[in-house]
Amino acid sequence: MSRECAYTGKKTISGRSIVRKGLAKKKGGIGLHVTSASKRTFKPNLQRIRIKDENGTVKRVWVSAKYIKSGKVQKA
């Protein structure tokens, strides 16, 4: 099972880390230039917590911290 929020569907996504070099135009340079872009991953803040279902059963699921703070999930 991958780490994915059981309610919001948030999961790890891929992106790039961009490196820019040079002196900004407003500082007297010719502007910033992209010199490299390496791959990286963006991971959501997932917590594995025990929750109560609609049926009243207790189970452990991955839930995003933002969802927990909003109070939409009831901890067991």
| Residue ranges covered by each domain of the chain | 13-69
The span from the CA of 58 to the CA of 50, in Å, is 6
For residues 40 and 54, which has the higher predicted lDDT (pLDDT)?
40
Query: What is the reported pLDDT for 74?
Result: 86
**What integer is the mean pLDDT of 55-76?**
92
pLDDT higher than threshold 90 for residue 64: yes
Q: How many residues does the chain have?
A: 76
Which of 2, 3, 8, 21 is closest to 68 using CA atoms? 8
Residue 48, token pair as written in the block? 């594995």
**What integer is the mean pLDDT of 38-63?**
94
Q: Which residues 6+ apart lie within 8 Å of 53 measured at CB?
A: 59
pLDDT higher than threshold 70 for residue 18: yes
Amino acid identity of residue 39, one-letter, is K
Query: What is the reported pLDDT for 53?
Result: 85
